[in-house]
Amino acid sequence: MSKVNLTVIFGSGVTRVLLAVLSITVVVILLLPRQTQGIFEGVSHPVAQFMAIPIQTLASFDYGIRDAWNRYLALQGVYEQNLELQNEVQQLQSRVSQLREQIIVSDQLGHMLDFQAVAPMETVAARVIGRNATNWYRAIIIDKGSQHGIKTEMGVVTETGVVGRVINVNPSTAIVLLLTDPNVAMAGMIQRSRDEGIVQGTAQGFVRMKYLPPLSKVEIGDLVVTSGLNEDYPRGLLIGHVHRLEKGDADLFQLAEIHPIVDFSKLEGVLVITSSGQLPGSDLLPAPEQSSKVQP
């Protein structure tokens, strides 16, 4: 009793009804195409709108993914281009720095060569390639040696003033003791008063002028020059100016602290005096009345 005979159901009037409905639908579609189209459009429009929602969502999502990918590719290209530009900027900055350094060195070399051309002495230009890294002595290393005519005890100067003296020579290099080293001493003179003394470095890195006459009228700011009594320096090379004076009641001589005219920390090029050919009595610097004192 629980089973239903499908043959009985479909073989009955139900089958005839379904066939009739189907036939009428076909006839309506064929005979009334415009009305049928309107019916289908009315039914399909909301269905189409309903189906369009997920389609538009998927399309928007796909567009978003494509746009993000395109942006990523564009940003990747911009990033790589930015790296290339940064590399080019660094190379240009390095080149500019090198050119600026060449200009500075060329300018310094030009001043030194100008002085070399007018100075009444024979000199060899040298470049500073090293500095003493210990506290035992104050010295620099230059790139000229015995094969360039450099010998020990030769004086070393710049276009500004006295630097020091050569103490050691190799074929291609030499060591120069600076004026501030206590092992360097030379005959100096107060340019204004013409008083002479010995200029020597100290262990503290200062420069002093010893054995000035007790009655000397030396003043702070007076220029100190080489006296020409040493063969390694001609007369009139600028050493510095008087920075401080010392004289006790029982002292036989005056002592002057000298401020060197040359900045030894910035030396890059020097001139080694190979022959001091200056005539006695002549000065490299202006007469005392024209240039005799520097304000302290």
Residue 144 lies in a domain: yes
Q: How confident is the model at residue 279 (pLDDT cuts 50, 70, 90)?
A: very low
At position 43, the amino acid (one-letter code) is V
User: What is residue 252's predicted lDDT score, i.e. its pLDDT?
Assistant: 82
Q: How confident is the model at residue 179 (pLDDT cuts 50, 70, 90)?
A: very high
Instruction: Give dist(CA 157, CA 258) in Å, integer.
Output: 17
User: What is residue 107's predicted lDDT score, i.e. its pLDDT?
Assistant: 73
Instruction: Give residue for tokens 């007369």.
Output: 235
Residues 268-274 have a mean pLDDT of 91
Based on the fold, state whether residues 19 and 86 are members of the same structural domain. yes
Residue 261 lies in a domain: yes
Based on the fold, state whether residues 131 and 171 are members of the same structural domain. yes
Based on the fold, state whether residues 223 and 149 are members of the same structural domain. yes
Residue 73 lies in a domain: yes
Comparing 142-146, 152-156, 265-269, 280-284, the range with the smallest average pLDDT is 280-284
User: What is residue 65's predicted lDDT score, i.e. its pLDDT?
Assistant: 77
- Res 217 pLDDT > 80: yes
User: What is residue 224's predicted lDDT score, i.e. its pLDDT?
Assistant: 95
Q: How confident is the model at residue 192 (pLDDT cuts 50, 70, 90)?
A: very high
Residues 33-54 have a mean pLDDT of 57
Return the CATH number at 212. 2.40.10.340
Based on the fold, state whether residues 170 and 216 are members of the same structural domain. yes
Based on the fold, state whether residues 261 and 194 are members of the same structural domain. yes
Residues 156-162 have a mean pLDDT of 91
Angle at 211 between CA 119 and CA 132, to 5 degrees: 60
User: What is residue 287's predicted lDDT score, i.e. its pLDDT?
Assistant: 42
Based on the fold, state whether residues 136 and 219 are members of the same structural domain. yes
Residues 169-176 have a mean pLDDT of 95
Residues 57-64 have a mean pLDDT of 67
Based on the fold, state whether residues 145 and 220 are members of the same structural domain. yes
Residues 196-214 have a mean pLDDT of 90
User: What is residue 32's predicted lDDT score, i.e. its pLDDT?
Assistant: 56
Residues 36-42 have a mean pLDDT of 56
Q: How confident is the model at residue 36 (pLDDT cuts 50, 70, 90)?
A: low
| CA-closest candidate to residue 160, choices 203, 129, 218, 114 | 114
Based on the fold, state whether residues 165 and 246 are members of the same structural domain. yes
Helix (H, G, I), strand (E, B) or coil at 18: helix
Residue 97 lies in a domain: no
The domain total for the chain is 2
Based on the fold, state whether residues 39 and 143 are members of the same structural domain. no
Residue 6 lies in a domain: no
User: What is residue 12's predicted lDDT score, i.e. its pLDDT?
Assistant: 56
Helix (H, G, I), strand (E, B) or coil at 171: coil
- State the DSSP code for 279: P
Q: How confident is the model at residue 33 (pLDDT cuts 50, 70, 90)?
A: low
Based on the fold, state whether residues 73 and 215 are members of the same structural domain. no
Which residues fall within 8 angstroms of residue 161, CB to CB, at 6 or more apart?
237, 238, 239, 240, 260, 261, 262
Tokens encoding 168: 């050691």
| CA-closest candidate to residue 180, choices 99, 106, 261 | 261
Based on the fold, state whether residues 59 and 199 are members of the same structural domain. no
Q: pLDDT tens digits, residue range 64-123?
A: 777 777 776 677 677 777 878 888 888 888 888 777 777 777 777 777 777 777 777 889
CA–CA distances in Å: residue 280 to residues 119, 176, 203:
14, 26, 33
Q: Find residue 190's DSSP bridge partners.
A: 224
- The interaxial angle of helices 33-118 and 13-31, nearest 10 deg, is 60
- When mean pLDDT is compared over 38-47, 96-105, 255-264, 270-279, the highest value belongs to 255-264
Based on the fold, state whether residues 134 and 255 are members of the same structural domain. yes
List, as one string, the DSSP characters of 139-152.
EEEES--GGGT--T
* Domain, as residue range, for 83: 14-91
Residue 33 lies in a domain: yes
User: What is residue 15's predicted lDDT score, i.e. its pLDDT?
Assistant: 72
User: What is residue 228's predicted lDDT score, i.e. its pLDDT?
Assistant: 86
State the chain's mean pLDDT as an integer: 78
- Res 175 pLDDT > 90: yes
